[in-house]
A and B are shown apart, each in its own frame.
Chain A
């Protein structure tokens, strides 16, 4: 669905994406995981052809892309309904009835409110309606729960799970929080400093395999560091950590005990460590 070959993006002599190659398949949900500034948003912008790049980004002919990138930008003095009508006209959809979409995304009471009077959670949901309006073949969501309070995050998770996970489309959702993405993603893609450093397949089968690629460290050192009974296999080029969800979750918890305070930071730290190993 999206074929990316040797994609590089530079800004002010600094490379924000470096030779990135990946093939996003149809019907899959991908989680794009990496710390802030790793190149996640730039990758989305390149897919949308909004930044100059070298390499190639190919999508199927006539495939439609919905997106919510950086911030749900709408015109502050227009109402939700007016903002959506405006968006619809740009993509050649006229006389649409948005009522069912407002219902679906819990925004029925806000449709006549001006955008500037919405909470951030409502703004994000309006952004999702816009992204989903034409039932796109590809959907790109950039940190959709960023800045939301716990209730907003819960709402957003439910909506994403309900509206995107069930559909037959390619979705790429970015976050710097691993636990956010494991709830949605079939595949996790790890990115750091503009380099795609590995991916993790999430089979959703409780006995299925999950693998993370780590390279250039002895298995003994690695086991010593994390002290956990997940299966770690050393191959010629990397380590693979195998486990089901529970095992992996315990693995993460163990990581937490060994390093930082919160699971989120620890998991990121794990990834960053893994990335450093590369």
Chain B
């Protein structure tokens, strides 16, 4: 399995989408970093630099996630390598999972790079350990929920349609829906907005659901069920057609 995952990284070594995606993930920090020095030096977690960053990542992360997940599978379809690749192991699930794990590793890598830059920036501007901890937990919460839920959704879309444009569009639609419903009292029903609200709770404890425990647990359950369902449906659609 480790060799299979290594091979996934080998396949994308010359792929430009990885460079673009890495640069795109850094755009929010670059924009807000510039804004910090020329316009607004408010570092408050509630309404300062990190709060703006946090909201912008909610917009960008579903797109970035869908591009990574879709591209890893699409390369097998567009290069017509699927047949040769699937013949390497009788255990198709193992090959499928090697790609899924590669996607998770790339996404987590991007998350850690961005988090590291934010932490360094805040530490450089005299933030305390508590602040750094709250930033880390909220950022990780937002990322994990979006990576897992949007990732599973994209895996299903790309393996069902074999179409990269539809998969990217699905990522954008996901973003728009998340942004519209971000403040809705029922937003716990959507994994991405639940992740946002959990992360946001660490920035501003006055803004959360009416019934915190029930709504959070319900949201968790829905997230787990939908993610696992989409993951298995994606695997079912992942096959060679006659």
Q: A86-B7, A89-B3, A90-B7 are contacts. A73–B240 as well, Cβ < 8 Å?
A: no
By beta carbon, the residue of chain B nearest A116 is B79
**Residue contact A75 to B90, C-beta cutoff 8 Å:** no
**Residue contact A91 to B88, C-beta cutoff 8 Å:** yes
Chain B, residues 184-195, CB within 8 Å of chain A (1/0): the string is 000000000000
Complex Cα gap A76–B11 (Å): 10
**Residue contact A78 to B240, C-beta cutoff 8 Å:** no
| Contact residues of A between 72 and 107, Cβ < 8 Å to B | 73-78, 82, 86-87, 89-91
**Residue contact B81 to A50, C-beta cutoff 8 Å:** no
**Residue contact A78 to B242, C-beta cutoff 8 Å:** no
Contacts of A70 in B (CB 8 A): 80, 83
B206 at the interface (CB under 8 A from A): no
A63 at the interface (CB under 8 A from B): no
> CB within 8 A of B14: which of A9, A74, A77?
A77
Complex Cα gap A22–B166 (Å): 43
The interface size bin for chain A is 20 to 34
Complex Cα gap A76–B81 (Å): 10
> CB within 8 A of A86: which of B11, B80, B86, B87?
B11
**Residue contact A51 to B242, C-beta cutoff 8 Å:** yes
Contacts of A48 in B (CB 8 A): 87
B37 at the interface (CB under 8 A from A): no
Smallest CB–CB gap between A12 and chain B, Å? 8
| Contact residues of B between 227 and 242, Cβ < 8 Å to A | 240-242
B15 at the interface (CB under 8 A from A): yes
Chain B, residues 75-92, CB within 8 Å of chain A (1/0): the string is 100111111111111100
B10 at the interface (CB under 8 A from A): yes
By beta carbon, the residue of chain A nearest B86 is A50
Smallest CB–CB gap between B199 and chain A, Å? 36
Contacts of A91 in B (CB 8 A): 88
**Residue contact A50 to B83, C-beta cutoff 8 Å:** yes
Contacts of A51 in B (CB 8 A): 240, 242
Contacts of A87 in B (CB 8 A): 84
| Contact residues of B between 1 and 38, Cβ < 8 Å to A | 3-4, 6-7, 10-11, 13-15
A-B contacts besides A76-B79, A78-B11, 4 pairs, CB < 8 Å: A11-B241, A49-B90, A73-B80, A90-B85
- 14 pairs, A vs B, C-beta closer than 8 Å: A42-B242, A45-B240, A69-B84, A70-B80, A73-B81, A74-B81, A75-B75, A75-B81, A77-B14, A78-B10, A89-B6, A90-B89, A114-B14, A130-B84
The residues of B with any CB-CB pair to A shorter than 8 Å are 3-4, 6-7, 10-11, 13-15, 75, 78-90, 240-242
